[in-house]
Each structure stands twice: as C-alpha cells, then as structure tokens.
Structure 1
Amino acid sequence: MNYQKGVGLIEILASILILAIAVLGFIALQYRSLDIAAEALKRVEAINLARNLAERIYVNKTAYSDYKSIATSISTATSCLNTAGCNATAFAAKDLADIKAQATARGMSIGVDTCPNTTNGRQCIFVAWDVTKAEKGSCTETDSFVYKADAKCVVVEAF
C-alpha cells in the first residue's frame, strides 16, 4: 500500500487563503492609520489657528468684544501697518481676516462665540473642517462643551 507523502493541494490552497486574508487585514490597518494621521494633522492645524487668534485677542484687549461681531462678517480687511488712522477695531478686523485666510487655505472655517455654560462672557474659538460649521450647535452640543458625534472641529476657550 502506498501512502501519500508531502503536502496536498488542498492544504496549500487553504494556507494561501489564510495568508491573503491576513494581508488584506494589514492593508486595512494601514489605510485606517492614514485616516487617523490625517485627522490628527487637521486637529493640530486647528489648534494652532485657534491659539494664534487667541494670542491676537490677548494683545488687542481693547477690541475684545469686537472679535465676536466681526468674526461673522469679515472676509477681507485693509492692513493697519504704516497707517496712522487705525484703531483697535480695525486691528481686530485685520487679525480675523488673516486668520480666516489661513483657515480657508487649509479647508477650515473659524468662528468666535460665547462659550457654553459660562456666565462671565468668555469667548470660545471654534475651528471646523469638512462639513462641520464653526459654531455652537454644529460642533458641540448647544449648551455644553461636549463634542457632537462625528464633529470635525476644535473648541478653544479664550479670554
């Protein structure tokens, strides 16, 4: 009687199938890690934009209340460099125009609004990307700092 020696075709096919499934799993992991890295990069850019605007608000404290009202309407502003007639409100408009231009170049939007659940009038800087809007209710729950599910935004509490 002759007995089979070596590996049969079925065993080889089964091992190739298992290997192919494992390789597809690794490919899926790599793809997901690229998505997570891109999201992390967007968050870092958003935090940097918000920090930049917060520093500008801190420097221009006399126009503190103007930043919220100007943020909804400003698209461009004239430069106050080498201009004698500029005031704090004009500087605020220029600051917001600069930051909005930087945000737009990165595919983001930026907004300033009163922070949720605060009685002292603190302002929050909202930076959002993709389909999320840079405002309360779109980025966070209306009266809290809880981010909405699938919201693509960063909220930074300013002064």
Structure 2
Amino acid sequence: LVEMVKEHEFVEVPSVGDRPPRSLARKMVAEIIQPRVEEMFDLMRREIVRAGYEGMLAAGVVITGGTSMLEGMPDAAERILDLPVRRGIPSGVGGLRDIVSSPMYATGVGLILHACHHAEALEKVGARGGKRFGRVFDRMRGWMLEFF
C-alpha cells in the first residue's frame, strides 16, 4: 500500500465537532493502515490453515466491504494469502443497482439476497418468534422483495 502512494498526495480528513477538515499526506495514512491490513490477512491465512483448507481454495478468495476498495488491497491479499483474490461486487440486484453495485455493499446485499432465497425457512422462524417478530419480518420481507 505504502509503495503505491505518490510522495506529495494528500487526503482531506473530517475533524471532530465544528473544527475544519485536515489535510493529511496519503503516505502517512498508508503507513498507519498497511500493518493492520497485513495483520488482518495473516490472521485469515492462519485460519485457512487451521481449518484445513490450505491448498483447497483454487478459485481463490473474494474480499468485500469498503476496505476492499482501497488501492492495492487485492494485491496485498494475494501476496499474504498466496491465493488469487478479487473484489466482490453484488449481482442479481434490481431497483437500487446503481447504488449497491459496489464491493462496499457486497456483504449486506448478499445477506439480504440469501434471506430472500430462503424466505420459507425464515417464515417458520417468524412464526415461532411471535406476532411482533412476524409483523416486523413481513414488513422487511416486503421491502426486500420490492427492491431485490
């Protein structure tokens, strides 16, 4: 990450309260973020080994979320995990496609789509949860079906 940032690039960072935003060197921000990124992917690599999946993930890994959009993130993941890596982008979404077609929303959209595809099982859970949960579930389900 650090090696990808040019020396004189800056990013504006919001301040707390009424204070004006601050301008920080992107290189400094990258120097802070890079060790955490490396630590995170190293923990993932260890978990893959511990779970017995080492050598079994030929298709690689999909990274999602806003952090996956950082410049160099897939490269860092490939280097540390020693696996092919790609950013996940939601698909099969109607209605809000322009808004949610980003890796930032991939996990949330995926969970909603999963719930929609398994609505029958969720209805049984709603029935066990009582009338209040059932009403909330029905409203959420209606909203999801409308947009997805």
Per the TM superposition, whether the score is higher than 0.5 is no
Higher gyration radius (CA)? 1
Name the structure where helix makes up a greater proportion of residues: 2
Q: TM-score, normalised by structure 2?
A: 0.31
After TM superposition, the score normalised by the length of structure 1 is 0.29
